[in-house]
Amino acid sequence: MARRVSEDLIRLLSRDKVIDDPDIVRLYAREPSGISSEALAVVFPENVRDVSKIASYAYKNNVPVYPQGSTTDLVGGAVPEPSGIIVSFERMNKIVNVNILDSTVDVEVGVRLGDLNVELAKHGYMFPIDPASVNIATVGGAINSGAGGLRGAKYGTMRDWVLRLTIVLPDETGTIMNVGCRTTKCRQGYDLVRLIVGSEGTLALVAEATLKIAPLPETMATALAFFPTLENLFEAYREIKSSGVQPLIMEFMDHETAKLAGEASKSPINVEGHMLLVSVDCNFEAVERIESWLRGVMEKNGAVKVYTSKTIEGAEPLFTIRRSLFPAQVAIASELYPGRKKIVFMDDIAVPPSKILEAVKVIKSVSEEKGLKVSIGGHIGDGNLHPSVAFPLDDDTIKKKVLEWEFEISKIAVELGGTVSAEHGIGLRKKEFLRMEMEKLGSVKALEIMKGVKKIFDPKGILNPGKVV
Ligand SMILES: Cc1cc2nc3c(=O)[nH]c(=O)nc-3n(C[C@H](O)[C@H](O)[C@H](O)COP(=O)(O)OP(=O)(O)OC[C@H]3O[C@@H](n4cnc5c(N)ncnc54)[C@H](O)[C@@H]3O)c2cc1C
């Protein structure tokens, strides 16, 4: 089967657009959390017509297709299960047009968010959605996973920043369609753009996008503070959130996670407690006042140590520890299960900001009850937490415990008025959780509607099958 499909694809596209060496294909069939699978071949479209040919071939031959950016979504969203064709967008990586007057950028979706920001910075602009994986994550992956990031406290998630899409449908002809407008105001009937954003590659292959962009801040006041107790930290959080100042970034890490992240990143900063990192974007005239206000709030609420900065460049070293959240979580797993293959489960829930302290405390106590070592960090400015635990692949008892833990954590999020997935998506891992959330909301019917929508876009169910619903 793999042989026939790859020969067909080579005839359809060209030899250099297809990889069928099983060892390389396997590298594309896995993601950083450890979830992996097998695929028939990887194809590399170079334009929307290539994408259309692949979609039409898959439809006519009933072969599953798996669109893929950099495979970092951590929920198995781009993992080919069951086997099929991986469509890697890595060669569709052009920044087509930056339009400052319109505040938009046209891109092919394989462009990495980090590279996009390097280009936009030349114009004094940025694309505000910045997952911690920004240097590797692609625009297409971010659109389809509905990504957020560190600046989510102020700028929200991808659904607030995508104006227009060129999509390809898995049908007889591989229909190419443009949805959305180049204008911010756009009433084009039902909002198909927002339906595609966060659809995790289950409705259409996204080939091109028009994104909104924002001016780079003039400068930024940043404070990195360490607190002896969670209560102290959340008092500072509450005071900042209630002050009328809109932070650009508000990040949290528990003491032990911050310590390991500090070690993993070789940061010279001494981690002395639970970590709160806050940045407020502002102009030069205001920065001194805001920096001293941030320091004051942190100290008044018991911070044992506060580091501050009045510039964007000066803040960079203060971000090092936060940027190492995932390596720290991997380090915890390696300490617990040395020399064993393991899966690191970085969860992704959101609760209303007013419930953050309660959520962190309950997550810690549930983890303790189950005898699991939890590490917690996240974008708390918008109530998004990433608690993480790990299990060794050779121990089914711990694996079972971890799966129960994850379900329980998700239930807690929903009970506190939140959701089972904030920014990583549902993927392979969270389908049951989504059902639980909709049941708790008395809205199981919504799942039927979602399945109906999927059928309209993808009548044969060949596009990223088994994900979301
Ligand atoms: C260390 C680390 C830190 C992270 N931090 C954050 C964070 O702060 N915020 C956050 O939101 N996420 C975060 N993530 C998750 C992830 O990196 C982001 O969601 C990212 O945007 C995914 O991009 P990607 O290119 O890797 O997408 P992939 O993982 O390749 O794909 C994601 C989903 O989109 C689909 N897809 C990809 N491209 C297309 C396309 N062209 N057409 C149709 N469907 C497509 C895939 O099938 C999959 O379902 C983090 C991950 C890691 C490993």
Q: Which CATH number goes with the domain that contains 438? A: 3.30.70.2740
Q: Which CATH number goes with the domain that contains 41? A: 3.30.43.10
Residues 193 and 107 in one domain: yes
Residue 468 lies in a domain: no
End position of a domain, from candidates 58, 90, 122: 90
Residue nearest to atom 7 of ligand 1 (CA): 131
Please give the chain's pLDDT, 469 residues, in tens. Answer: 788 999 999 999 999 999 999 999 999 999 877 788 899 999 999 999 999 999 999 999 999 999 999 999 888 889 999 999 999 999 999 999 999 999 999 999 999 999 999 999 999 999 999 998 999 999 999 999 999 999 999 999 999 999 999 999 999 999 999 999 999 999 999 999 999 999 999 999 999 999 999 999 999 999 999 999 999 999 999 999 999 999 999 999 999 999 999 998 999 999 999 999 999 999 999 999 999 999 999 999 999 999 999 999 999 999 999 989 888 888 888 888 999 988 888 899 999 999 999 999 999 999 999 999 999 999 999 999 999 998 998 999 999 999 999 999 999 999 999 999 999 999 988 999 999 999 999 999 999 999 999 999 999 999 999 999 9
Residues 19 and 62 in one domain: yes
Which of 27, 31, 35, 68 to mutate for ligand 1's pocket (most ligand atoms within 8 Å of CB)? 68
Residue 467 lies in a domain: no
Is the CB of 468 within 6 Å of ligand 1?
Answer: no
Residues 100 and 207 in one domain: yes
End position of a domain, from candidates 90, 113, 143: 90
Is the CB of 145 within 6 Å of ligand 1?
Answer: yes
| 384, 152 contact by CB (below 8 A) | yes
Q: What domain range is 356 assigned to?
A: 326-454
Residues 160 and 193 in one domain: yes
Residues 356 and 445 in one domain: yes
Residue 462 lies in a domain: no
Residues 277 and 383 in one domain: no
Q: Which CATH number goes with the domain that contains 286? A: 3.30.70.2190
Residue 167 lies in a domain: yes
Residues 286 and 205 in one domain: no
End position of a domain, from candidates 69, 90, 111: 90
Residues 434 and 338 in one domain: yes
Is the CB of 33 within 6 Å of ligand 1?
Answer: no
- What is the Å distance from ligand 1's center to 91 Cα? 17
Is the CB of 205 within 6 Å of ligand 1?
Answer: yes
Residues 318 and 343 in one domain: no
Is the CB of 37 within 6 Å of ligand 1?
Answer: no
How many domains is the chain built from?
4
| 394, 365 contact by CB (below 8 A) | no
